[in-house]
Amino acid sequence: MKNKHVLAAILGLSLFTFTACEKDENIEPIDVFEEYARPITTESNKYISKILSYRPGPGQYTNKNLGDVASAEKIVGNKTALVSLGAWGGSIIFTFDHTIYNRENDKDFIIYGNAFSSFSEPGIVQVSFDENGNGLADDTWYEIAGSAHTKTATLHQYTTTYTNPKSDTEAVTWTDNNGNSGSIAAGTTNKYPLFIEEQDEVTYTGTRVFPTVNTSGFTSTEPLEWGYVDNYDADYSANGNGNAFDIDWAVDTDMNPVSLEGVDFIKVYTGAQLNLGFLGELSTEIKGAEDLSIVDVVE
């Protein structure tokens, strides 16, 4: 190194260029996945280990049982609790005690909901790898593009702003980035999430899908084909009403597929904005989540 410095002083820029090239050849690029993936061990648990964020939309359960922070915490470590995400855009972010590995040609995790054959409330999934290794979900998010993501009615880069009525008896009103507006029907308590930081209004961002609703007779909602939470799937109806996801379904913001070796963080948000009359607003529920990639390592 010392000699290089002396030579650099003599030869100037041309040698600087030479040493720069030499440097590039000698330094191996960091394999971010190898560096920061949290391995699966015999001690690893297949269920959620921690809730990182719970920011529901307004809703009939919001601020109450099924819609408060305590309810969110209960989905840790099992698949039989229940938390509601409220109206469109309301979300939860959770992690596991290890990285979920992307299994080749196989699904990688299940999220459990409470859908049944005539009633689905599709939630949209996003995944993220802890690429800066700081344990925080502050990395790039990729959305799981389910069957409805390519439908023409689906709204991408969609935002909705909810306003806190600061009243127990007034509806929560909303406006979106398409110039539409609406409200979450009033009840006897304020339906705006009263435990999030934003207490005047909050803006949620994501994709909005449009499940088919039948209002003749008993109100029912049809499941989307595949790729959503709380969305009836006959294959899993006997197994806690889960929906299984393949990390290979993840896309970037331009809907281009991305290649991820594994994910650390999963976000789920309510994917539809629908008033279902006496049933209240459509809201995604989650009972827990389970890593499937763990079976490759731990029997």
Q: How many residues bind Ca ion (CB under 5 A)?
A: 17
Residue 128 CA to residue 247 CA, distance in Å, equals 10
Q: Which of 50, 103 has the CB closer to Ca ion?
A: 103
Applying CB under 5 A, which part among 155-163, 183-191, 215-223, 283-291 lies near Ca ion? Answer: 283-291
Q: Judged by CB under 5 A, does residue 222 bind Ca ion?
A: no
- Residue 264 as a binder of Ca ion (CB under 5 A): the answer is no
Using a 10 angstrom Cβ sphere, with 0-12 exposed, 13-18 middle and 19 or more buried, the burial of residue 73 is middle
Q: What is the closest distance, in whole angstroms, from the C-beta atom of residue 207 to Ca ion in the complex?
A: 18
Q: Which residues inside 25-64 make contact with Ca ion, applying CB under 5 A?
A: none
User: Of 46, 56, 99, 108, which one interacts with Ca ion (CB under 5 A)?
Assistant: 108
Among 19, 44, 49, 114, contact with Ca ion (rule: CB under 5 A)? 114
Q: 105 or 157, CB closer to Ca ion?
A: 105
Shortest Å, Cβ 241 to Ca ion: 9
Contact between 261 and Ca ion by CB under 5 A: the answer reads no
Q: Which residues contact 52 (CB under 8 A, 6 or more apart)?
A: 93, 94, 95, 136, 137, 265
> According to the binding rule CB under 5 A, does residue 230 interact with Ca ion?
yes
Segment 61 to 100, residues that bind Ca ion, using CB under 5 A: none
Does residue 138 interact with Ca ion by CB under 5 A? yes
Q: Which of 11, 21, 70, 136 binds Ca ion (CB under 5 A)?
A: 136
Q: Rule CB under 5 A: say whether 121 interacts with Ca ion.
A: yes
Nearest to Ca ion of 140, 199 (CB atom): 140
Distances (CA, A) of 174 to 119, 177, 202, 234: 25, 10, 10, 34
Which of 71, 81, 123, 139 binds Ca ion (CB under 5 A)? It is 139
- Segment contacting Ca ion by CB under 5 A, of 15-23, 137-145, 197-205, 231-239: 137-145
Is residue 132 a contact residue for Ca ion (CB under 5 A)? yes
Q: Among all residues, whose Cβ is closest to Ca ion?
A: 283
Q: Tell me: does residue 176 bind Ca ion (CB under 5 A).
A: no
Q: Catalog residues that contact Ca ion under the rule CB under 5 A.
A: 102-103, 108, 114, 121, 130, 132, 134, 136, 138-139, 230, 246-248, 283, 285
